[in-house]
């Protein structure tokens, strides 16, 4: 009996490997194929990086979990208007473009900036949100403008709008980190002198960390904001674009921004530039 | 230095017990903040355990087959097993996971779920490591056992299955437990492809609550307890096996 146990484990392992190998899962991208042939697909798969409140985060009270945030509300609104279902999956921010390319996602919303490099790999809608930039630093550091940041070590969220903006500042050491919370810890530990962030995303951290201070900096006209990303050549781009334009004229987009960015910060909600 | 450490240790536990800030400076921990999120984090135990168990079993079975390839006289099988091991030991686990997760949909048009991608990667990787352990175990079985079996006319498969392998496994149990513990902790890598395991749940709560250390320390404690129970179970298992000596 005792000798039998190991051999039993081997057999169980072999059976399990068969099960894993044969397990039917979700077939890839019916939707993508449907989009290209022009038919209406049932459910669109959206990927996001749910670690960036209030844009997207997971609410986890009482053992239940739900993805929430500005981007999520907007995605629900658009897909509903276009008659699609919506399924939301989460993954790290730097994996969002790969899941689009591999066809696992139909679209990606994560406050993503349409940079030149990204445009070569995926398609974007127009901007749906242009955030205020702000300098986050330790209280009393006196770093309140972009000018002050010269010669300092400045942290940004990898691939964010601010990561693009920070390159305009001469003589600066840039440190890009994965998550907003990583930036806050780097700041508290003194590894960076300041962080260039979206004001609305920093508000929640400011409330929890009284040893930090924030200064809004003037935004540059035409400066980039967030857009929705699609697989290259997806026909959904146009439809999504149209709904965003409608929401801008009816003021629904402003209302949505008001709901999310007012709920977290006490600062006045940021105005959207059409 | 030692005093500093003790101080830090004390204040850490004080903060934990009181659930409040220790002062103006230093590491401020408030575990009270994550109390409502604890059920969500705990649900990750099942997912982490499922990853570990399934991967350990498949890896063990596949590793046994590979080890038999390695000691066989058939050259191509030996080459294959050696090449396989060199690939999986020679590249980082996180890279293997990323390749399997992202390339499968493009190669065969199947949107592989994170759980499957994780189990496949961990099994294949663990098999490479344990095949070497098992090979060592087989070679350590006294030569006389094999010779006696051959003299008695026992066929090769039966000799392996009934005589050599059971003795080999008994000797390598501690090494296999090591492998399972490594798997349990390495399973946290699936958080990078979006599976909601313990680690990822800790990170999610961290960003939801705008905090950092509390969920991570809590998750660390759960990992520690899981590894401790695994060690404990393995020790009992080993004692039972030694009884037949």
Mean pLDDT score of chain B: 88
- Tell me: pLDDT of A225 over 60: yes
The per-residue pLDDT for range A52-63, each reduced to its tens digit, is 889 999 998 877
Interface mutation vs chain A, best among B30, B36, B61, most A CBs within 10 Å: B61
Q: Are A102 and B192 an interchain contact pair (Cβ–Cβ within 8 Å)?
A: no
Which B residues 209-238 touch A at CB under 8 Å?
209-212
- Span A135-153, mean pLDDT? 89
Instruction: Compare A69 and B19 and report the one with higher pLDDT.
Output: A69
**Residue matched to tokens 């857009």:** A227
How far apart, in whole angstroms, are the C-alpha atoms of residue A159 and residue A113? Answer: 8
- Confirm whether B197 is domain-assigned: no
pLDDT at A183: 92
The tokens describing A52, both together, are 């960036």
- Confirm whether B232 is domain-assigned: no
Q: Are A17 and B61 an interchain contact pair (Cβ–Cβ within 8 Å)?
A: yes
CATH number at residue B117: 1.10.3720.10
- Tell me: pLDDT of A140 over 80: yes
Residue A74 contacts by C-beta under 8 Å, 6 or more apart in sequence?
A109, A128, A253, A256
The per-residue pLDDT for range A125-137, each reduced to its tens digit, is 999 988 888 999 9
pLDDT at A267: 33
pLDDT at A8: 82
- Confirm whether B123 is domain-assigned: yes
Q: Is B39 on the interface with A (CB under 8 A)?
A: yes
Other Cβ atoms within 10 Å of B74 Cβ, number: 9
Q: Are B207 and A180 an interchain contact pair (Cβ–Cβ within 8 Å)?
A: yes
- Span B140-161, mean pLDDT? 93
Residue B160 contacts by C-beta under 8 Å, 6 or more apart in sequence?
B68
Pick from B39, B102, B244: CB nearest A102:
B102
Distance between B146 CA and the closest CA of chain A, angstroms? 17
pLDDT at A11: 84
Distance between A134 CA and the closest CA of chain B, angstroms? 17
How far apart, in whole angstroms, are the C-alpha atoms of residue A235 and residue A224? Answer: 23
Mean pLDDT score of chain A: 83
The per-residue pLDDT for range A226-271, each reduced to its tens digit, is 899 999 999 999 999 999 999 999 999 988 988 888 643 333 334 3
- Span B209-215, mean pLDDT? 90
- Confirm whether B183 is domain-assigned: yes
- Strands (DSSP E) contained in chain A are 43-48, 51-52, 56-59, 66-68, 85-90, 107-112, 122-129, 133-138, 153-157, 173-177, 194-198, 212-217, 226-231
pLDDT at B134: 96
* B106, closest residue in chain A (CA to CA): A102
* H or E element in which residue A225 lies: none
CB B128 within 8 A of CB B162: no
pLDDT at B22: 42
Least confident of A38-42, A104-108, B44-48, B161-165: A38-42
Pick from A28, A63, A179: CB nearest B111:
A28
- Tell me: pLDDT of A161 over 80: no
Question: Cβ contacts (< 8 Å) between A197 and chain B: which residues?
Answer: none
Question: Cβ contacts (< 8 Å) between A209 and chain B: which residues?
Answer: 210
How far apart, in whole angstroms, are the C-alpha atoms of residue B227 and residue A269? Answer: 48
- Tell me: pLDDT of B221 over 50: yes
Distance between B226 CA and the closest CA of chain A, angstroms? 20
- Tell me: pLDDT of B15 over 60: no
Per-position DSSP letters for B122-182, written without gaps between them: HHHHHHHHHHHHHHHHHHHS-HHHHHHHHHTT--HHHIIIIIIHHHHHHHHHHHHHHHHHH
Interface mutation vs chain B, best among A104, A121, A136, A184, most B CBs within 10 Å: A104
The separation between the first and the last C-alpha atoms of chain B, rounded to the nearest angstrom, is 49
pLDDT at B27: 77
> For residues A137-171, b (16+ Cβ closer than 10 Å) or e, as one string?
bbeeeebbebebbeebbbbbbbbbbbbebbeebee
pLDDT at A270: 41
Size of interface A-B (CB pairs under 8 A): 143
- Span A162-177, mean pLDDT? 84
CB B126 within 8 A of CB B59: yes
Q: Are A14 and B206 an interchain contact pair (Cβ–Cβ within 8 Å)?
A: no
* B238, closest residue in chain A (CA to CA): A2
Pick from A16, A91, A207: CB nearest B194:
A91
- Span B171-196, mean pLDDT? 91
ipTM above threshold 0.95:
no
The tokens describing A185, both together, are 């810890």
The per-residue pLDDT for range B57-100, each reduced to its tens digit, is 999 999 999 999 999 999 999 999 999 999 999 999 999 999 99
Pick from A2, A103, A179: CB nearest B105:
A103
Least confident of A28-42, A163-177, B66-80: A28-42
Pick from B36, B43, B62: CB nearest A61:
B36
Q: What structural domains and CATH numbers belong to chain A? A: 30-130+224-264 (3.40.190.10), 133-217 (3.40.190.10)
Least confident of A228-242, B8-22, B99-113: B8-22
Specify the 3-state DSSP secondary structure of A132.
Answer: coil
The three-point CA angle B236-B176-B79 to 5° equals 160
* A17, closest residue in chain B (CA to CA): B58
- Span B39-55, mean pLDDT? 94
- Confirm whether B137 is domain-assigned: yes
Pick from A9, A60, A63: CB nearest B60:
A9
- Span A136-153, mean pLDDT? 89
The tally of domains found in chain B comes to 1
State which residues form the domain around B72.
Answer: 47-190
Question: Cβ contacts (< 8 Å) between A3 and chain B: which residues?
Answer: 166
Pick from B61, B103, B241: CB nearest A10:
B61
pLDDT band at A27 (very low <50, low <70, confident <90, very high): low
């Amino acid at each position: 009996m005792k000798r039998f146990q190991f051999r039993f484990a081997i057999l169980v392992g072999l059976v399990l490997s068969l099960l894993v190998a044969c397990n039917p899962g979700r077939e890839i991208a019916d939707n993508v194929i449907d989009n290209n042939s022009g038919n209406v697909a049932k459910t669109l798969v959206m990927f996001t990086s749910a670690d960036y409140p209030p844009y997207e985060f997971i609410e986890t009270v009482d053992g239940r979990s739900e993805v929430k945030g500005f981007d999520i509300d907007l995605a629900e609104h658009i897909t509903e208007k276009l008659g699609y279902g919506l399924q939301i999956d989460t993954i790290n921010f730097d994996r969002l473009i790969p899941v689009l390319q591999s066809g696992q996602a139909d679209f990606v919303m994560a406050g993503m900036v349409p940079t030149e490099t990204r445009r070569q790999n995926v398609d974007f809608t127009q901007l749906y949100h242009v955030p205020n930039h702000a300098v986050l630093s330790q209280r009393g550091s006196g770093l309140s403008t972009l000018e002050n940041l010269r010669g300092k070590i400045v942290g940004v969220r990898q691939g964010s709008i601010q990561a693009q903006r920070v390159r305009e500042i001469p003589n600066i050491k840039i440190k890009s980190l994965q998550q907003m919370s990583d930036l806050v810890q780097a700041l508290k530990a003194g590894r960076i002198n300041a962080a260039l962030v979206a004001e609305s995303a920093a508000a929640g951290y400011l409330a929890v960390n009284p040893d930090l201070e924030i200064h809004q900096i003037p935004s540059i006209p035409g400066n980039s904001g967030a857009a929705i990303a699609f697989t290259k050549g997806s026909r959904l781009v146009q439809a999504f674009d149209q709904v965003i334009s409608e929401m801008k004229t009816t003021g629904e987009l402003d209302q949505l921004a008001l709901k999310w960015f007012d709920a977290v910060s006490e600062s006045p909600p940021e105005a959207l530039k059409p | 230095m030692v005093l500093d450490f003790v101080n830090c240790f004390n204040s850490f536990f004080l903060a934990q017990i009181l659930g409040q800030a220790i002062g103006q400076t230093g590491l401020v921990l408030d575990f009270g903040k994550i109390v409502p999120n604890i059920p969500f984090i705990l649900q990750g135990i099942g997912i982490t355990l499922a990853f570990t168990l399934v991967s350990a079993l498949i890896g063990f079975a596949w590793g046994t087959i590979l080890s038999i390839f390695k000691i066989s006289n058939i050259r191509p099988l030996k080459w294959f097993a050696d090449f396989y091991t060199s690939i999986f030991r020679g590249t980082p686990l996180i890279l293997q996971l990323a390749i399997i997760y992202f390339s499968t949909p493009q190669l065969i048009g199947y949107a592989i779920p994170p759980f499957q991608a994780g189990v496949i990667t961990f099994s294949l990787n663990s098999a490479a490591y344990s095949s070497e352990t098992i090979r060592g175990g087989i070679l350590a079985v006294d030569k006389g056992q094999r010779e006696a079996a051959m003299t008695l006319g026992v066929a090769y498969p039966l000799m392996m299955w009934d005589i050599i392998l059971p003795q080999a496994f008994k000797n390598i149990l501690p090494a296999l437990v090591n492998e399972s513990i490594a798997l349990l902790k390495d399973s946290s890598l699936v958080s990078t492809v979006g599976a909601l395991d313990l680690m990822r749940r800790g990170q999610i709560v961290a960003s939801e609550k705008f905090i950092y250390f509390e969920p991570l320390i809590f998750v660390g404690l759960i990992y520690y307890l899981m590894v401790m129970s695994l060690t404990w179970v393995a020790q009992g298992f080993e004692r039972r096996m030694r009884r037949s000596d």
